[in-house]
Every structure is written in structure tokens, then in C-alpha cells.
Structure 1
Amino acid sequence: MNGRQAVASRPEDAAAAFVRPRPVAEPRLRLVVIHHAGGSAAAYFPLSRLLPRDWDLLLLDLPGRGKSHTQPPLADMAHLAAWTADRIRPWAAGTPLALFGHSLGAVVAHETARLLEADGAAPAWLGVSGRAAPGHRVPDGLPDTDLPDDELMRRLTLMGGMHPRIEELPDFRERFLHLVRNDLRAVAGYRPDPARPPLGIPLTAIGATDDHVAPPGTLPGWVAQTRARFARLVFDGGHFHFLGPAFPDFAARLVQEIHQALQPAQAGRQAFHPSTV
């Protein structure tokens, strides 16, 4: 199997890695969400109340956390993408599929979309959030994986999105740091081939005005990753701008972007048009 894990043959077999808050028997669309470094599916659960009722939501837990806690964390992006694609493939048959990822999840979603497209199971839409375009290096964007524990925690806390009581739970803190170091190593070692062809699916790049991990100026480079429709959304806030009160507005824009991607009239390449929220 060329070093890849076995491919699940049915949706029931692939369900173990997903949180599926409100299963839909015959959905019009399946949206797969891939979380950020150190995170889990739980952070994206509010989406279950904010999507159209005929959409099926699948929140993925990458290895080492949540529903995938028994599997060791993966510190290699190619392995993460292959693991993810193997679990998504059974859900791609017969129903349009959309992929969304934030930060680490954006890279995993992008690489997974390429694997699925190569298999003839291309998603209908790809959303990449909080991540600079491939090849665009951002100094001091993400913490160094070799930082001492206290300094790594300080840097992660400044980025936001942290459990408010993590310092009171030393065992949880230790497990979290082990997990996040592996996640950050996967991002740090990511070296995509700059000569590979673009995707043939609509792509939306999402950022925020004060995100130092993926400043707004790094987002237009994503246009080179697709020959289909491309859009850019820039929200107010930092790296985790959408967590909390802003989640409903953020979800509404995601739904709008996916609806546009599903329109037959949008199938051809469109001119790039930045959009600011």
C-alpha cells in the first residue's frame, strides 16, 4: 500500500475519526472541517447550529486527539494528508463534498484535496483559512517547535484559541504540548512542489486583519493553486477571529462561498476579486 494506511470502503468504516453532530441521511452537501494545530473537532462544533439543515457536517479529529486519541500524532504533512484522504474518500461518493481547514488544517485540507482530485473524487470547494499561500514564508508566524515549554505556551497563548484553564491542568498541558509540537513540525517541514499543476476546484482563501501567522498580504498567492473560481475573504481580528461571538457571521460567509462554488455558472475561471468583511 506504498506506506499509506488502508482505505476504508464504506462511510460507516470511516466514521471513527469524525464528530458528526447532526447526521443527515440524504444531504445536499457534506462539509468536512479540519482543525488547527493543537486543536480538535470540538472547537468547530458551533457550526452544527449554523449550517443549512440539509448539509451534513463532519468534524475531523486528526491523530492524537478526540475520536482519534488512540493513534499517535503525525509530524509529517504527507502522512497527515494521506491519513485524512483515506478517511474522507468513503464520504465523497454520490454527494458534493466541501473541505475547510484552519491554519494546520488549511494545509491538510489543501493536500487532501489534491489526493482526492487525483483519485477522481475532487471536492466541490476548498476553503483555506489562517494560512499563507504555499511558498510564502512568514517570519515569526508560528512558534518554533524547539522552544522550552513555558515559552511555547506563552507564544501559543498570545495567538489565542487556548483552553482558559490549561495552566491549572499539568497533565493535560503536557499532553497538549506533545501534540502541538508534532502538529507544528508537520507545518514547518511542509515543502510542496512549486511546479505541480493547480487544482481544478473553486478555492476561497480566508484571513484576518491582525493575523500575524497569515497576514492578509499572503492570501492572494493562493490564486496560483486553482484554475477554477478564486475568492479572498478578510475579516477583522487575529488568528482565531471566528471563535466566539463572530462565529455566526463567519459561518454565514462560508455558506455563501460554498453556494457560489456549487453554481454551474461559476465553473469557469473568474477574475480574482478581493473581498473584505
Structure 2
Amino acid sequence: MSGGSLADHTIGAFVRPRVLSDPRVRLVVVHHAGGSAAAYFPLSRLLPDDWELLLLDLPGRGKSHTQPPLADMSRLAAWAADRLRPWTGDVPLALFGHSLGAVVAYEAALLLQAEGRPPVWLGVSGRAAPGHPVPDGLPDTELPDDELMRHLTDMGGMHPRIAELPDFKARFLHLVRNDLRAVADYRPDPARPPLGIPLTVFGGSDDHVAPPGTQVGWVAQTLSRFERVVVNGGHFHFLGPAFPDFAALLTEEISQALRVAPDNPWEYRTSDA
């Protein structure tokens, strides 16, 4: 595996629902603000059997709960790239992020590309294009706890009983405030070169955080294949009953990217090969 043996801190940051000795593809998923790898666990049952799924827990939660949350996007991206780096090289690595995770995944992909080890595909969801004015869909980080909780509940993706667990609720709100600050203060560097890998943008037709029109500008972030997919739903368009359909979209987009990517070093082994 490129980059030497995997350090404990690298392995420990990921939830790995099924560990494969010779996967055809590795898909890394970066979660949304206030979320964790747990929300994306259903993908483990919906991807091809020979694809390995790695769910990254950002600092302050899940596998990374002992690390303090980071409220700075550049530090989050560097942290993520550090944990992705050893997984590049031996197996095609696809990278997907939703909302906060979309920005972390994009910035980490840029860092890895600058080192000559980019992922083979990037998928982003629920996020306006870099540099596009962000609508007022995200709550103010300085809101009182109860009001912030109401905003987050309205957005969806929240555990229905979180308000019944005061200690957990307090830890969650501390975490989500840091996540939201990282998003609010994010300013992309316009001088950086675009990605050279296929990029797919997913969006919900009724997403008030990242309406479809705010995502068009992602096309400028890659010199390779670009696709934009709009599905029915809001900010968390893929959760619940829609997860199987979304997993099928992910699978097709990654498979297509591997087939058509210019200078693709990977021999794409189709399921019937």
C-alpha cells in the first residue's frame, strides 16, 4: 500500500463495515455537519460485494471522539488528507462527501492531487459550488441551544430522540457549532488549479441549503468528466427509503468515471469479467 504501513490513528478514524483483502474499489465517505460515520452505514449493504466502504469520522465523534472538534476548514481538510493518504495507490479510491463533508472531501482531494496521489473520483452533495454565495439555509452558530436545535431538526437528518438526552444534546451542540463555523468561514483559494479527476455533484430538488442553481458552478472545479444529478428531496435527499436508489447512483457514477477518465491507470474489472 502506497505511503507505508497504516498507522493506528489512520485505521482508527474509519468505520469499516466489511474489510476486503482485494477490493475492486474503495469508497471513502465524509459525513455532514454534526453527523458521524454511523449515518452512512446502510451503504455497506448496498454497494457491490467487491467494493470496500470506509466511513471517516471527523474529529470529535465516533472513531475520532477523543480528538477535539476543528472549526477551521483548512485544518479539517489537512486532517482528512492525512488519513486518506495511506489508502491511495494500490486500489482505486473514490471519495464522497455531503454538506460539510463535501467541502472537506473536495479540499482533501486538492491536497492529495498536489502530491500526485488524487482519488479517481470525487462526489459532492448538498453543497453550493466553491465561491458561490451560500443561501441562508444554515443556522447561525450563535443561536441559543433550543433555537439551534429547532433549525437542525427542520433540516432533517437528526435523531428523533436527541432532545431527551441532555448530556448527549450538549455534546452534540458543541460539536455542530464547530462544524458550522468551519463551513461559514470557508473561503476557497481561487488561485488553485482545478481537479483533474471526474466529479459528480448530487443535489436535492428542494434543498434550501444548496439549491440546484447554486451547484452548477462545480463544473469549473474539474478538467475531467463532470456530471450533475438532481434528485427529489431536501438537504438529506438520500436518507431513509431513498438510500438504495442513491447507492445505485453512486455505484454507476464511480463505475462510469473509471471507464472514461483520461489517463486512468486502473484496469477497471467489471463484475462479469
TM-score, reference length from structure 1: 0.92
Give the deviation of 1:260 after TM superposition. Answer: 0.5
Task: Report the 3-state secondary structure (helix = DSSP H, G, I; strand = E; otherwise coil) of the residue aligned with 2:240.
Answer: coil
Task: Report the 3-state secondary structure (helix = DSSP H, G, I; strand = E; otherwise coil) of the residue aligned with 1:245.
Answer: helix
Give the deviation of 1:219 after TM superposition. Answer: 1.2
Fraction of identical pairs, as percent? 77
The match for 1:175 among 151, 159, 171 is 171
Other-structure match for 1:272: none
Counterpart CA distance in 1 for 2:84 and 2:255 is: 21
**Structure 1 runs (4+) greater than 4 angstroms displaced:** none
Counterpart CA distance in 2 for 1:266 and 1:107 is: 22
Answer whether contact 1:261 1:267 (CA < 8 A) is retained.
no
Give the deviation of 1:267 after TM superposition. Answer: 2.3
Counterpart CA distance in 2 for 1:74 and 1:138 is: 21
Counterpart CA distance in 2 for 1:63 and 1:195 is: 28
Task: Report the 3-state secondary structure (helix = DSSP H, G, I; strand = E; otherwise coil) of the residue aligned with 1:181.
Answer: helix
Q: Which runs of 5+ in 2 are unaligned?
A: 264-273
Other-structure match for 1:54: 50
The match for 2:258 among 257, 262, 269 is 262
> Is 1:208 aligned to 2:211, yes or no?
no
Structure-to-structure mapping, 1:112-127, within 5 angstroms: 112-127=108-123
Farther-moved stretch of structure 1 (99-108 vs 87-96):
87-96
Counterpart CA distance in 1 for 2:79 and 2:189 is: 20
Other-structure match for 1:73: 69
Other-structure match for 1:235: 231
> Is 1:249 aligned to 2:236, yes or no?
no
The match for 1:186 among 168, 175, 182 is 182
Other-structure match for 2:271: none
Task: Report the 3-state secondary structure (helix = DSSP H, G, I; strand = E; otherwise coil) of the residue aligned with 2:123.
Answer: strand
Other-structure match for 1:161: 157
CA displacement, residues 177-223 of structure 1 (integer Å, 9 cap, x when unaligned): 00000000000110011232111000001101110000001111000
> Is 1:218 aligned to 2:208, yes or no?
no
Task: Report the 3-state secondary structure (helix = DSSP H, G, I; strand = E; otherwise coil) of the residue aligned with 1:11.
Answer: coil
Other-structure match for 1:94: 90
Answer whether contact 2:135 2:208 (CA < 8 A) is retained.
no
Other-structure match for 2:101: 105
Task: Report the 3-state secondary structure (helix = DSSP H, G, I; strand = E; otherwise coil) of the residue aligned with 1:241.
Answer: coil
Farther-moved stretch of structure 1 (66-75 vs 137-146):
137-146
Other-structure match for 1:27: 23
RMSD of Structure 2 on Structure 1 (CA): 1.1
Give the deviation of 1:12 after TM superposition. Answer: 5.1
Letter in 2 for 1:84: A
CA displacement, residues 227-266 of structure 1 (integer Å, 9 cap, x when unaligned): 0000000010100111101000000000000000001x34
Counterpart CA distance in 2 for 1:254 and 1:19 is: 19
Counterpart CA distance in 1 for 2:172 and 2:57 is: 14
Letter in 2 for 1:235: V
TM-score, reference length from structure 2: 0.93
Counterpart CA distance in 2 for 1:105 and 1:232 is: 17
Task: Report the 3-state secondary structure (helix = DSSP H, G, I; strand = E; otherwise coil) of the residue aligned with 1:173.
Answer: helix
Other-structure match for 2:5: 10
CA displacement, residues 4-48 of structure 1 (integer Å, 9 cap, x when unaligned): xxxx84235321000000011111111000000000000000000
Counterpart CA distance in 2 for 1:119 and 1:28 is: 23
